[in-house]
Structure 1
Amino acid sequence: MAEQESLQPPQHQDTRPGRQEPMVPQPSETRPGYHGSGKLRGKVALITGGDSGIGRAVAVLYAREGAKIGISYLNEDKDAEETRRLVAAEGQPCTVVRGDIGQEDICRQAVARMIEEHGRLDILVNNAAEQHPQESIEDITAEQLERTFRTNLFAQFFLVKAALPHLGEGACIVNTASVTAYKGSPKLLDYSATKGAIVAFTRSLAMALSERGIRVNAVAPGPIWTPLIPSTFTAEEVETFGGNVPMKRVGQPDEVAPAFVFLASEDSSYMSGQVLHPNGGTVVNG
């Protein structure tokens, strides 16, 4: 078998969740050629996992489209402050909420902060997630299984419950799923299971909230260059990450963020219960 081409410098971070500052190259998150047109003017958006990666890119583009922003994050203070700086550079305020959204009280606090500081909530982006690769299901402990489900899935339930009293007609919920929900991943069994559940949650919630005029959709990214990658894979795996998709490269967060803009704006007014697939060309028929 031919040796896989090196796509990124080999690198690994020992702490989870990963930090963005040590990554080489730095992820592309601000999409310089993207010009806002007021698609989200006057809206207020809460984005979980907004400190870096896809969440940061979504925060920047939402701000560029006129939305006031709130982000939640676990403990990556420096990354969160950089997101705040980038959002401010777009002329919008950015509320920053620290804490583990796997705990329901933290989710309630995050929503309460948004209402306290901005008086409303129009868009909820359930983006935060974690993964812990294991060679075998036998290596997945009960603690890891619960942790992954709490962060990736339980938090989405908790946040929707907390946000729903404040979401009026025309509000939008956008969930982050994954290509692994459709094609699986032998070393990410628990992570893939959460992402499959998110697809089902998105479809069911869309039906449940339709009469209230609230749309619910999801985005299922493929291999994207975020801190999650060097913090969870070996240096050798990181070096070739993204090479197994038709485009033969890793995707950037700001190549995913426009899908979130579309689903939060009136451009997608006749879409609910659907999933978009920025994944480098992998056909999943889902």
Structure 2
Amino acid sequence: MLNVAVIYGGKSKEREVSLRSGKGVANALKAKGCNVKEIDFTSMDFISSLQGVDLVYLALHGRFGEDGRIQGLLDILEIPYVGSGVLASALAMDKAKAKRIFDYVGIRVAKDLFVQIEDKERLNFDAIEEDFGFPLVVKPNQEGSTIGLSIVKNKSELKEAINHAFTFDKQILIEEFISGTEVTVAVLETASEIQALPIIEIIPNKNQYYDYESKYAPGGSDHIIPARINKETEGLLKKWAIEAHRQLGCETLSRVDFIIPSDGSLPVILEVNTLPGMTETSLYPDAAKAIGLSYEDIVYKLVEITLDKQK
């Protein structure tokens, strides 16, 4: 019997989502006959409980779980784990650095201004308005699930949005706002190939934008599979998703988010998620379902892929 430790919870702002992902993963692996040890990662005390496990399934989201830190610890302990390694995890979490890589290889990114907290008081709001116009986006550089993100509609809202983003991170991004349709591409990597699963179109129901509530509240959004896009756009999105996965050095799985602009221009990459959510409303399991894999099937397949790579 396969011994799997599922690590979830953690200390990040996405703790509650991680708890839901972890419980779902643990139940799926139990249904597949695995011996599952559930670990709520709140301190380093969990290390001793990893003795005897064959593999770790990381169901963590955000800081300390998706940013390469726990991956480095597991590498030192020589315990295999589902998902990307240290460098890919850290790069994907750092939106500014990831965007520079995407831009370099020809994947379209949104225009942005990278700001560190020590430069906050020197910002020129008139110059920002001239460069970006309104609305614009302000967000922490290293947070997920739209935490700390604001859509700023005029200059009077800008200072508050910047201060809000800096409560979550010491680095923020000010970006152009691109109106359009948000889509996501789940990527699955085996030992022999990398494939993009059917593209999902996201329609928020709760709010105007695909924010935290839209992502995780029941009925918060509709997932349309396949997305209502033409074949040319579909091919480009899948190509770019696989390229983004490769360029960051991701492994086994990722989910790449894009927006398709309303003006008909090329899609814009938003971010790469190295540990996509696995809750009952999550996108990655929905994409897997579209190719005939149930929730339990895709969770176990990720474990099998990880073990195959170890061999």
Same fold (TM over 0.5): no
Higher RCO (Cα < 8 Å, 6 or more apart): 1
TM normalised by structure 1 equals 0.30
